[in-house]
Every structure is written in C-alpha cells, then in structure tokens.
Structure 1
Amino acid sequence: MAQVTAAGQRQQKALHQSPIVWGAGALLLVAILMVSSIISVTQGALMLVGGALGMVLYHAAFGFTSAWRVFITERRGRGLRAQMVLLAVAVVLFFPALSAGTLFDQPVRGFVSPIGVSVMVGAFMFGVGMQLGGGCASGTLFTAGGGNARMMVTLLFFIVGSVLATINFDWWASLPAFRPVSLVELGAGGGIATSLVLFAIIAAVTVLLERRRHGALEAAAVPAERRGTARWLRGPWPLLFGAVALALLNFATLALAGRPWGITSAFALWGAKVVQAVGVDPGQWSYWQQPGNAQALGESIWRDVTSVMNIGIILGAMLAAALAGRFRPSLRIPARSLAACIIGGLLLGYGARIAFGCNIGAYFSGIASGSLHGWVWMVFAFAGNLVGVKLRPFFFNQPARPAVSGC
C-alpha cells in the first residue's frame, strides 16, 4: 500500500506539472526551429543533441561530482566505474575517426591541449570548486535547468570566474608546459588498447577498495513503481544506460560540429558579452584576440556551437525535471551554502579556463580525444576534490566522512 501511495503521489506531481512539461518542450522545439532557420540545420541539430544530453544527465542523474565524493567518503565506486564505461565507449568511437581525420567525409579534430602548470593548477581549482559549488560543468547546467536555485547561483559565478580567467589568460599560457600529445598518435588500435587497460585498472581499484570497506559491491536500487515503461519517461534511468547514451551523444557532436562536446568556453563568452554591454572592451584581452575566440565574441551566441548546446542542455533538463514531477524551484538557500556557491562557482570558472576545459571538455572529451592533458586533468581535479570534501562540512553542516556500516 505504501508503494502504491508513493507511486500515486509521484503521478499526481507529474500531472500537476504538465503545463511545465508542455512549456519546456515548446521552448526547446521553438529554439531548435529558430536556430535551424536563422543559422543552419546543423546548428539546430546540435541544439537537439544538447536537449538530449540534458535529459540523459537529469534522468540518469549522471554526476561527476557526486560520484567522486561518494568514492572519497564511502569508497563506493559505482559512479566512477560508470565513468570508465563512458570513456571506454567514447574512445572506441572517437579514435578511428580522429586517426582518419574525417567522419562521414567531414574533417574532425579532438580536444588535445598542452600539459603544463596551468592545467595542474586549474584542474585542482576546478576539483575544489566541484565540491563547494555542488556540481561540475555538466552538473551545474542540468541541475540549474531542473530548477535548482542554488545551482543557478553557482552557474552565475561560474560565468564570472570564467571571465576573470580570460583577463590574464596569457600569463597562465606563458608558464612551462609540454607539447600536446594524443594517444591517437599510437594508431587507433594501439590508442584504444592502451586506454581500455587504464580504464580497467581504475575500475579494478574501485572494486578492490569498495569490497575492502563494505565486503560487497553496491547494487543499483530502483523503486518498484519505477521499473516499468514509465521510468523511461519520468526516470530514473540506469546509470550505465546514461554512460553509453552520453558517449553516443558526444560522438554525434563530433559528427555534426567536427569536434567533441564542450561546455565552459560558452560561459566565458556569455560573460564577455555582458562586459561588452556595460561598456568594457574584452577584445583588448589576449584570450579574445585568438582567432576563434575573437570571431565568437564578434558574432551572435546563436552561432556558437557550445552556447547553443548549453541552452539545449538547460531546456532538456527542465523538460526531464517536469516529466519527473520534480521541477520545484526554491529560493531558500542557507547563508553558508550560498557562500559555497559563490566560492565554488568562481573556482570552477577560473579553473576550467586555465586548464583548457572542465570535466567535459578536458576530462571526458579530452580523454576521448586521446589527450594526455585529459589524464593529467583527472589526477589534479581528483586531488582538488579531496580538499573540497574536507571543506564541505563547514559550508553544509555534514561530516566529511559519513559513518559506514558493515565490514
């Protein structure tokens, strides 16, 4: 009876939010049609991919921040293993295309960046910001789109931090660094094999540590009322399904845009547009004098692939939250939590810019591109998460390491 009641309550919430469902769906459809008509059909397709990413991220609750925090505090590695599946599927798809240089007769390139001081410092800052801000780049977008007011504050300061990093980006770029290196240089087969071995080692370590702490691996728990076909509409989706879907959608981005999925360059662009509007010329900063960045700054954001996809993610997550009956924004944010949003957002934005990307552009798409800078980013971002987890109790009034029962 309790399960029936709970299921009924969820159904009532979903029905109550049907106007939001229709509204979010209409917004996404109108945005796709508008971009398709005024820019190109390809750009509209990229917004559609963004909408699909938002739905997958929300319904699968695919979080990088929470997965790393749970592993650090509880040694539960299900989320980290899902990330290894995500990366494994991605490299199998990406490496042959990147090695050939074309996909469906269109030129493609990966995200391959130098390995230097800026990557290490920026990734560490980003890692701390993940735990204080409450999310990563993708997590901030999909939770903000899902109606989380706290994450909207994080997003705002994410943008501010991104703009601040562009002011002295040239100084960070001048620091010692090695040339960009990609495992694709080993050949598609060699690069895939090397990557899969590394993913397997990481997954095996999580299994070993989880069994040592708990005696057994954590099983995915799905409420009985969500095991039917309704779960595909209202969620939650299986975590591994989310991992595979995200990898496929990133590959679709590569096919359509000629490069992988990224997020945070758009935040710097949005902030620079605001700075322009108040009379300051960001074009004087070296970051915006680089050819691609200068072009983006001079054009409409609707021509920017990353911006269009980010907007799609927000609208897709809003639609998913409404379908799940969970779109309930609340402006009640405790003072310390608000402070964490501000500090975390600034660290996320600044760190992502100087590290050549975030958990998506550097970690997911970087490793999918074979870039060694993606692996370095992962190591230093994880170190930042260790520090961020230690700082969380001050802001969120919770223990740094939850009590764990079992052997």
Structure 2
Amino acid sequence: MTTNTNEIQFSKHKKNLYTGSILSFLSILFSVLFSASDATLASVWMLSNVTGFTLQRSRFCFASGFRDLFLFGSGFTLKGILTGLFISTVGFSAIMHWLVPNTGLGMLPPEAHIFPVGLSTITGGLIFGFGMVIAGGCVSGSLYRLGEGYVTSISSILGISIGMILAMMSWDWWNNNVIKYEPTLWLPQIQNIGYSWSIVITTITISALFLLVNYWESKAGIIDTNINENQNPAYTFPEKIFHYFKSIFLKSYSPILGGSILGILGILMFIVKKPIGVTGGLSHVIAIPLTKTGLISSETVSSLNELGGCTSSNESLVNSSFMMTFGVIFGSFVASIISGEFKIRTPKNKNRYLQSGLGGILMGYGATLSLGCTIGAFFSSIPSLSLSGWVFAIALGIGSFIGTKVINRLI
C-alpha cells in the first residue's frame, strides 16, 4: 500500500521533476560559462540559486516576520530570522577574525556589512519597514514570489526600482549633509572590546529576543504545532529515496529550518565573496543608464561604492551583486516548478498593483539610504557585528508597526 502511494505521488510530480532537472542543468551550465571569466561569479550564482530555493520552500519573508507578530501575535517567521542571525554571527565572526585578527589596528573586515549609523539608517529603516508591509513583502520576498509567478511582484520590483532612482538622484544631498558625518561603528572596536565580547553581546541579545517573541506568542495565545507525519513510513530503497525527495523538494520548510539554511548560506557567501544582499543587483542595473544619461554623476556612484553593502557598482553589468539578485529569482523558479507550485497569479483586487508599487517605491528609497534591505542592512549587518544593523532593525520594526496599523485601517 505504501509503495503504491509513493509511486502515485512520484508519478504526479515526475513531469515537474524533469522540468526542474533541465532548469538545474541550465543553472549549472550558466555557472560554467560565468566561471570562464571569474570563478567567484559561478559560486555566487549557485549559492544565490540555493538561497532563492530556500526562500521559496520556507515562504521566508522578513515583512511577514514583523507584520505577523504585530497583526496576529505570531512569531514563527521572526524566530526563523533570529535563528539565522545567531548562526551567521558565529560564522561571520570567524571569517572576520581571519581577515582582521587585531581589531585594535582600526581596520574593518573587507566586504563585511559595516555601515555608517545615524539619521540615514533610522530614516531608511522607517521608510523600508513601512513600505514592505504596505507592499505585502520585502525585497527578497518580492524576488522569490516573482520566481513562483506572482504578478504583483512585478509592480513591487518596478516600485523598488523607482524608489532607488529617486534615492540616487537625492543621494548627493544625503551624503554631503548627513551620511559623511555619521560614524561607522563596529562592535569589536567600541571601547576595544574585541571579538569575544562582541559575539557574547550579539548572541545574548538575539537569544533574549527569541525568548521575548515566544513570550509575545504566549500572550497572544499562539500555539506551536508539531504534527508528526508518519503515515507513509519508508521501508524499501525507492521509498527511502522518495522520502528524501519529498522532504527537500515537496514539503514546506519550517521558518526555523529556512532561517538556519539562510544563515549557513550567508556564511558560505561571505567566504566566497561577500555577505548576501539582494538590492545591489537592481541598483547596479539602474545606475548604468542613469549615469549614461547624466541623471546621476559618476561621483555619486563612486560615493555609493565607497560605502559598500547592497549598493551600485562601477563593475561590468554581470557582477556578484547581479548574480545574487537574479540568482534568487531563478532558484525560486526552480523550486516552485519542481514542487508544482508555480502558477501565474493575478490579484482579484486590482488595487494590489498600486499598493505593491507604492510600497516598493518606499522600499527602494529606504534600501538605498540604508545601503541595504532586510537582508543586506539587517540579516548580513548584525552578524557583521555592525551597530548599524541593530539601529536599522529597530527602525525597521517601528516602520513595520506603523505600516500594520495603516493596513488594519484599510482592511
């Protein structure tokens, strides 16, 4: 009976598996072509594919992490985010210690997401947090949903692009009047506390927040459910293989598992090139025509490059930032094809296009101002032991809370 059930389930997904296998082969072929010019690009592309795959299978969205806590009292996704932060912090610290063994020399680890902290961080976080709730998803959420067929993600990404254009056109004002006066604070160099105390402070704070989210859930009456699926035990070799296939490609991942995988991927990405960030590819593509048409100057792009993070770049079109952004979309597409979840989805309420577009504009502006989105300025910045990551997170939370209140009034 079990064998028949597994055979029926496998036959149902056989076509999707074949299509997904072809797409996976194309992805590997792309990486081989990329490696001809730069081996790093191939690695970044493949890791970005896995990132998109993980985001899709776990339905991992930072917007829902904050929104669900404020709207429903559910912290399932937020606990996954905190788990990923904990794992990344340990891994990032080891990498940064290898890059900069002596924190007392005043050097910062190359490529780590350590940004200026101040009014720009707070403003960007508030705007981004509000925008992602209004749009119904963060930047990474919009990218992976685009990969599985959500048409509203197109309007969201278009909005993000418009927001980035507006931010780049006003960047010189922000940089000359605000950002260049803001300090870049790296925890190991504050009072020269070093790596050990920085790791202790960061991991204890993350752990305390994890407990706080659980307490919040208990007050809201949210119950953790753990359903043990043992209806089709695997005995034979084919059954065992199908069990693994089902667990990886068909079943949804829990937020904790999704966050853990993303944390590990962040570490691997840092080893290969730099921490994960998904807005850099968009800003890079946008900056090229803006520079050529004279809407922004090459000096503006240079000042963005100097600050690093998920910003524009003066490299060729196909660079590591480009790979991260578009690799996520492709990875999500493969995941949704294999699982049979890909479908062109249009909203019943056409106002959702406007809502996601306006939210996207706010996210694009906020992400540029903060030098990253929920991944670059938060998920990759806190593990980099940057104070800016925590300030951005607080502003992000406040912006999300305000956005939730607005959504409540609109519903």
Range class of TM-score, shorter chain: 0.7 to 0.9
Residues 120-139 of structure 1, C-alpha deviations (whole Å, 9 max, x = no match):
11111100111111211221
Matches of 1:98 and 1:48, distance apart in 2: 23
Counterpart residue number, 1:255: 271
Partner of 2:201: 194
Normalised TM-score (structure 1): 0.85
Question: Are the equivalent residues in 1 in contact too, given 2:34–2:42 (CA < 8 A)?
Answer: yes
Aligned to 1:181: 185
Corresponding residue number in structure 1 for 2:320: 305
- Paired residue for 2:300, among 248, 264, 287? 287
Instruction: Summarize the Cα distance change of 1:198–1:281 in structure 2 as closer, same or farther, 3 Å threshold.
Output: same
Unaligned runs of 5+ in 1: 399-407
Provide the aligned length of Structure 1 versus Structure 2.
384
Whole-Å separation in 1 of the counterparts to 2:264 and 2:137: 23
In the TM superposition, residue 31 of structure 1 has moved relative to its aligned partner by 2.1
2: CA distance between counterparts of 1:301 and 1:225? 50
Question: Partner of 1:25 in structure 2?
Answer: 24
Q: Percent identity?
A: 22
- Judged with a 3 Å threshold, the aligned counterparts in structure 2 of structure 1 residues 298 and 122 are, in CA distance, closer, same or farther, namely closer
Instruction: Tell me the equivalent position of 1:130.
Output: 132
The AA in structure 1 aligned to 2:258 is: G
Compared CA separation, residues 64 and 224, structure 1 to 2 (3 A): farther
Does the 8 A contact of 1:167 with 1:286 survive in 2? Answer: no
Give SS of 1:112's match: coil
Q: Distance in 1 between matches of 2:28 and 2:98?
A: 35
TM-score (norm 2): 0.85
Contact 2:287-2:301 at 8 Å conserved across structures = no
CA distance in 2, matches of 1:369, 1:194: 13
Q: Which runs of 5+ in 2 are unaligned?
A: 102-108, 234-242
Q: CA shift at 1:290, angstroms?
A: 2.9
Counterpart code for 1:57 = L
SS in 2 for 1:203: helix
- AA aligned to 1:167 is M
Structure 2 equivalent of residue 95 of structure 1: 93
* Aligned partner of 1:161 among 151, 160, 163: 163
**1:184-212 deviation line (CA, Å, top 9, x unaligned):** 33222111110111112211211222112
Superposition map of 1:2-401 within 5 A = 14-18=13-17, 20-37=19-36, 39-101=37-99, 108-173=110-175, 174-175=177-178, 178-185=182-189, 186-214=193-221, 217-220=223-226, 228-229=243-244, 230-257=246-273, 259-275=274-290, 280-284=293-297, 286-290=299-303, 292=305, 298-302=314-318, 304-332=319-347, 334-393=349-408, 398=411
Contact 1:13/1:326 (CA < 8 Å) preserved in 2? no
Over aligned residues, Cα RMSD in angstroms? 2.9
Moved more, 167-176 or 284-293: 284-293
Conserved 8 A contact 1:76-1:218 = no
Q: Is the 8 A contact 2:79 2:255 kept in 1?
A: no
Q: Is the 8 A contact 2:287 2:312 kept in 1?
A: no
